[in-house]
Structure 1
Amino acid sequence: MEISTLAVTDDVTCDDFLGGRVRVWQPRRGYRAGVDPVVLAAAVMARPGQSVLELGCGVGVASLCLAARVPELTLTGVELQPDYADLARRNATENAALFDVVTADLRALPADLRQKRFDHVIMNPPYFDRRTGTAASDHGRDTALGGDTPLTDWLDIAARRIGPRGYLTLIQRMERLPEVLTALTGRLGSLVVCPIAGRANRPPELFLLQARQEGRAAFRMVPAQVMHTGDAHQGDVESYTPAIGKVLRNGASLDIWP
């Protein structure tokens, strides 16, 4: 991962993203952000002046990486866990980002937030269905990876917050693609899926999805985005493909949508 730890305390570390353009405090133990929220941010087609809502923002990595690439965004994050939300606010201040973080359950958003619509809704929802897995020993990590909010609720809430012609962008595990497509059918249109494979010779484990409010284009699947060069891991040597390397080091966009 393109992350370097800058400082460590008993409870948190300060980590370097995008080659130092974004510095983020996050728990030393429990759930720690890695490459996935950075890739998510790179895939969001936001323009200066637009509004963005991130559901389940954690300590704010995706939103802050997006803010580093696209100026003058108005960003709002929703985070269930108070400790993570507090760190997200600290990170917003220290990165000079216009990022308002709300501590709330997605299923019980504050009234003022329920009245708002956004140009973009982004999310990296828990990858695992808690009903079919074993809970992690750390509560924060367990909530981030599984939690008790069904994926269908995440998608329903996201669809409700998207403004006219606005976009949903998410990253999720490949085995949950049928569930996502079913939940969005009749809600959003112009769905595009980009598989993400660790290497060219391996099946994709993740996917990025973009959907649009009032979109009418037919469903499309674009070529897979490959993360690493070569057929296998070759030791402690960076092997990111050129496109992914530019995303992780320089904050470049990931131009995958047709």
Structure 2
Amino acid sequence: MTFCKGKTKGPATSPEETVDTLFHGKLRIIQAKRGYRFSLDAVLLGHFATIRGSDRVIDLGTGNGVIPLILARLHPAVEIVGMELQEEMVRRALRNVNLNRLEERVKILRGDVCSVKEVLPPESVAAVVCNPPYRKPATGRVNPDAEKRIARHEVRASLADFIRAGSYLLRRGGHMALVYPATRMVDLLKTMRQEEIEPKRLRLVHSYKASAATLALAEGIKGAGTELKILPPLVVYTRDRKYTREMKAVLGE
């Protein structure tokens, strides 16, 4: 297993990039202006995932590396691997790791979840996190931008491919946490169980208290027995379109 290496020459070396911040500037994230950009999903998943002590964690489809950076910020003792297929995204993730001086704890690996057995050993991590593509190949508007297209549509790997890779990597009793559209929650839970990741915790995310759920945060345990805990809903905004108290805490405000 060979991890990618690289050195950033500055926070942004291209006019096509931005440098955005999280947690009051404690994390800085280089992103493409028009390519894939992280959203609130990544922050919510980072806070939702069960991470213990010095767990070894992997993020499948890491993109710009934002989830490993969030986990490193929240859990000072963990070691995290971010696995990503797209070469340009891998380079950007490396720059983000270096920019935030987390080279000792966050590693970036270029790889395909469909061939994970070729690059990583089985049962080698305690936790897996994943924000997988959420649209079927022929549904919705297919974005002409390759970064966005691969991140949103199952054109290179399906939901089952990501969960199967997570099950392969997890030791027995390990946790896998995912964020997915609430409208596809049945597909998510069904696939988790099929791949030996028994759903154990579920939390729905609502933009407003009276609105329908938009996201599902789900976590399963490899080889666990059946019993699903439904957590209280997470509401993002108040009626006057400000972050709720809980969301402010999540964002470090």
Q: Same fold (TM over 0.5)?
A: yes
The answer as to whether partners of 2:197 and 2:222 remain within 8 angstroms in 1 is yes
Pairwise CA distance, 1:65: 0.8
Q: Is residue 248 of structure 2 the alignment partner of residue 241 of structure 1?
A: no
* Corresponding residue of 2:8: none
* Corresponding residue of 2:82: 77
* Corresponding residue of 2:5: none
Deviates more, 1:159-168 or 1:109-118: 109-118
- 2:191 is aligned, of 159, 183, 189, to 183
* Corresponding residue of 1:23: 28
The answer as to whether partners of 1:38 and 1:247 remain within 8 angstroms in 2 is yes
- 1:125 is aligned, of 128, 132, 136, to 132
* Corresponding residue of 1:256: none
Alpha-carbon distance between aligned partners in 1 of 2:201 and 2:117, rounded to the nearest angstrom: 31
Structure 2 gaps of 5+ residues are 1-10
Pairwise CA distance, 1:26: 1.2
Q: Is residue 100 of structure 2 the alignment partner of residue 88 of structure 1?
A: no
Identity in percent: 24
Alpha-carbon distance between aligned partners in 2 of 1:110 and 1:208, rounded to the nearest angstrom: 26
Give runs of aligned pairs for residues 25-44 of structure 1, distance below 5 A. Answer: 25-44=30-49
The answer as to whether partners of 2:97 and 2:106 remain within 8 angstroms in 1 is yes
Alpha-carbon distance between aligned partners in 2 of 1:111 and 1:215, rounded to the nearest angstrom: 27
What SS does the aligned partner of 2:108 have? strand
Structure 1 gaps of 5+ residues are 1-5, 234-238, 251-258
Alpha-carbon distance between aligned partners in 2 of 1:71 and 1:57, rounded to the nearest angstrom: 19
* Cα-Cα RMSD: 1.8
Pairwise CA distance, 1:7: 6.2
The answer as to whether partners of 1:165 and 1:214 remain within 8 angstroms in 2 is yes
Q: Is residue 213 of structure 2 the alignment partner of residue 210 of structure 1?
A: no
Alpha-carbon distance between aligned partners in 2 of 1:136 and 1:202, rounded to the nearest angstrom: 27
1:171-212, CA deviations, whole angstroms, 9 ceiling, x for partnerless residues? 000111111111122512252210000000101010100111
What SS does the aligned partner of 2:167 have? helix
The answer as to whether partners of 1:51 and 1:74 remain within 8 angstroms in 2 is yes
1:55-82, CA deviations, whole angstroms, 9 ceiling, x for partnerless residues? 0000111110110011121111111111
TM-score between both structures, scaled by the size of structure 1: 0.87
The answer as to whether partners of 2:189 and 2:199 remain within 8 angstroms in 1 is no
Opposite residue 27 of structure 1, the aligned amino acid is: A
TM-score between both structures, scaled by the size of structure 2: 0.88
Deviates more, 1:179-188 or 1:37-46: 179-188
Pairwise CA distance, 1:112: 4.2
